[in-house]
Amino acid sequence: MVFEKLIKRLREYNEILELDAIARRYLTMNAFDGVLTMLGILVGSFFAGITDTRIIIIAGFGASLAMGVSGFWGSYLTEKAERRKELRELEKSMLTRLKKTKIGRASKAAPYILAMIDGLAPFIAALFVLIPFFVVSITMAYYIAIALAFLLIFVLGMFLGKISRENIILSGLRMTVAGIVCVLLALLLGFR
């Protein structure tokens, strides 16, 4: 009952402020950031010859947390400022306070909702790539983790393709190019 009420309220806020478009943007952009950061760490560690799983896990976890906190905080402060500005402009046009209306409540909730998405997207994406290091031997873990990273990048690309109604395979491949560039640059670093 409480959950249904929450879903209903979120739907209302979404209709008023069109949060789904912004949320999709934050989700894709920041999950992409998370995966690419992890890919950089993995390729760098591989060529640096790191064989201690603990180091990869701690470094990876630290990076995930940092991205999560940065995503949450940055997004919250930015959205809060923007929503406040929009609400003030609307109040000027309406000649009345809107704090206790649905639009006022939606404007107050939006920064939290978007900050959660912005913070969780890179955090979860980065952690997903780290999973093999908890399960298999380090050499296998490197290969599987890099494969998982590319898979996630491809899936994110497909998601974007679905939104824009383009060929989802092509869209996935386009995103994967970024992953390849990341690996190549890290390879160059490894050869120096």
Specify burial of residue 92 (Cβ count, 10 A radius: 0-12, 13-18, 19+): exposed
Torsion angle (degrees, nearest 10) of CA 180, 183, 187, 189: 120
Neighbours of 112 (CB within 10 A): 13
Helix then strand then coil, in percent of the chain rounded to 5, is: 90, 0, 10
Tokens (6 digits) for 161: 């393709």
Q: Does 102 bind another protein (CB under 8 A)?
A: yes
Q: Of the listed pieces 26-34, 93-101, 137-145, 152-160, which binds another protein according to CB under 8 A?
A: 93-101
Q: Does 12 bind another protein (CB under 8 A)?
A: yes
- Candidates 1, 2, 54, 93; binder of another protein (CB under 8 A) is 93
Q: Of the listed pieces 2-10, 85-93, 140-148, 171-179, which binds another protein according to CB under 8 A?
A: 85-93
Q: What string marks each residue from 43 to 82 as x (binds another protein by CB under 8 A) or -?
A: ----------------------------------------
Closest CA to 28 of 165, 111, 109, 121: 121
**How far apart are CB 76 and another protein at their closest, in Å?**
22
- Candidates 5, 49, 54, 95; binder of another protein (CB under 8 A) is 95
Q: Can you spell out the DSSP letters for 98-133?
A: -TTSHHHHHHHHHHHHHHHHHHHHHHHHHHHHHTHH
Q: Which is nearer to another protein, 13 or 154 (CB)?
A: 13
**How far apart are CB 106 and another protein at their closest, in Å?**
9
Query: Which residues in 103-162 contact another protein (CB under 8 A)?
Result: 103-104
Q: Which residues bind another protein (CB under 8 A)?
A: 12, 15-17, 89-90, 93-96, 98, 100-104
